[in-house]
Structures are given as C-alpha cells and as structure tokens.
Amino acid sequence: MTQALIFDMDGTLFQTDKILEVSLDDAFERLRSQNQWEAETPIEKYREIMGVPLPKVWETLLPDHSLEERERTDAFFLERLIQNIRTGKGGLYPHVQDVFGHLKENGFSIYIASNGLIEYLNAIVDYYRLDQWVTETFSIQHIKSLNKSDLVRHIVDQYGMTSGAVVGDRLSDIHAAKDNGLNSVGCRFDFAREEELAQADVIIEDLLELKTLFPAKKQGIK
C-alpha cells in the first residue's frame, strides 16, 4: 500500500510572492522599453489567475500581443524568476523542511505537482535541497493537456498510489485530488480564494497542521 502526499509548489511550498512582482515588473519593463506596453504592470490581474499554466497567463495578460511576443516575454520572465531564486530572494513557507522530515520519517512518499515549468521547479528544488525528501517533482509540461488532474493521475499511476492527499492553495489542486480519489487539503495562504477553499476536504492555516493530519501511524485525515 502506497500512501503519499502530492504538493503544489507556488503558494503552497514556495512563497512565490517574494519574487513574483519584481520578476513580472522586469518583464513588463522590457515591453515598455520596446514600446509594446504603456500601462502599469498588471500584478493584481496575475494574482487573480495565479496557478494556471504560464501560456494561459500570457494569453490573459497580453491578449493583444502575438504568440511570438508572448513566448519571448514568457522566456524573459522565466529567466528573471530563476535568477531571483538562485540569489535567495524567494523563500519557502514556514515549516516546509520540518513537515517534510516528519512525513519522510513516518513512511509517506512526497511528490510535487506544479503548473510551473521544469526549469523553474528545478531551480527551487535545487536551491532548497528539497530532493532529500521529495521522490519526484512533476511539471505541467509533462502532460499534453496542461491539466492538473491529468498530472496528478500520471503520478498516481506511475507510483501505484492507493491513498493520500493533494495539498494546494487553488481550485485546480482540489479538483486534482477529487478527480483521482484522493483527499484534498486546501492551504489558506497568499493566493488562496475562499470560494475555492470551500471545496477542499480540509483547510489548513499552517503546514505544521499536516503533522497532525498525517501522524506516524498513517491514519490519514481525521
């Protein structure tokens, strides 16, 4: 029997907020310098759609720009995010290592399933040495549909998961859990929305609560 926890990355494990605004502003400053953008950086609009795959982000933020320009902006934005990660400007949410250590010591397998791109996720995992606890990190790039439920299904099938939970802050995480017969743990963190969290099986305010929800005897959610 394989019991595991699948974690979202942005807004769940990684405090994306710490590098998001400066990286996004860099991307739009580039557009301004090329006379392709005049308004302020749409940071609030990005917050509203946080958690969707990046191609959909640029469709929303740059609806009047060409696909080629969206791709160039995406590539530049990714470069800035990774640079900010590698220089320590980001940060994990409190107690990530503590909780991961507890889960690992008590026989739980840990995975990451994110709408973030592979290079971005690898930068976070490498910088914070998460691979000492995490079995494998999966990007939405691994799934043609760009659907979080399909990504979680891929993990479930590959590792023969029979029980466990998806831990995340947005509706896509909650749906991914339910669509795959897993429990959903909603994180009331920076990007969470109350109407989405209402659909989760359990809501937590701090990752430390996972130590109670998933104790040593693997009793699961109480």
Predicted confidence (pLDDT) at residue 220 exceeds the cutoff of 80? no
CB 52 within 8 A of CB 170: no
Distance CA 24, CA 97 (A): 28
Please tell us whether the domain made up of 3-15+91-213 is placed in CATH 3.40.50.1000: yes
pLDDT of residue 55: 81
Integer Rg of the chain from CA: 18
Predicted confidence (pLDDT) at residue 156 exceeds the cutoff of 70? yes
Predicted confidence (pLDDT) at residue 217 exceeds the cutoff of 80? no
Report residue 1's pLDDT band, with 50, 70 and 90 as the boundaries.
very low
Residue with structure tokens 């507890």?
102
Q: Indicate the pairing of strand 202-204 with strand 183-187.
A: parallel
Mean per-residue pLDDT of the chain: 93
What is the residue extent of each domain of the chain? Answer: 3-15+91-213, 17-86
- Render pLDDT for 111-146 as a digit per residue (tens, 0 to 9): 999 999 999 999 999 999 999 999 999 999 999 998
Best CA proximity match to 37, nearest among 55, 14, 59, 62: 62
Report the largest interatomic distance among the alpha carbons of the chain, rounded to a whole angstrom. 60
Predicted confidence (pLDDT) at residue 69 exceeds the cutoff of 90? yes
Report residue 56's pLDDT band, with 50, 70 and 90 as the boundaries.
confident
CB 133 within 8 A of CB 110: yes
Cα–Cα distances in Å, from 46 out to 8, 24, 25, 101, 138?
A: 18, 9, 11, 33, 23
Predicted confidence (pLDDT) at residue 219 exceeds the cutoff of 90? no
pLDDT of residue 48: 83
Cα–Cα distances in Å, from 88 out to 51, 66, 92, 127, 154?
A: 22, 33, 10, 8, 32
Distance CA 146, CA 24 (A): 22
Query: What are phi and psi for residue 138, nearest 5 degrees?
Result: -115, 135
How far apart are the two ends of the chain, measured CA to CA in Å? 19
CB 182 within 8 A of CB 166: yes
- Render pLDDT for 14-43 as a digit per residue (tens, 0 to 9): 999 899 889 999 999 999 999 999 999 999
Distance CA 66, CA 71 (A): 9
pLDDT of residue 148: 96
Predicted confidence (pLDDT) at residue 51 exceeds the cutoff of 80? no
DSSP-assigned beta bridge partners for residue 139:
114
User: How large a percentage of the chain has pLDDT more than 70?
Assistant: 95
Predicted confidence (pLDDT) at residue 215 exceeds the cutoff of 90? no
What is the model's pTM?
0.88
Predicted confidence (pLDDT) at residue 218 exceeds the cutoff of 50? no
pLDDT of residue 47: 84
pLDDT of residue 49: 83
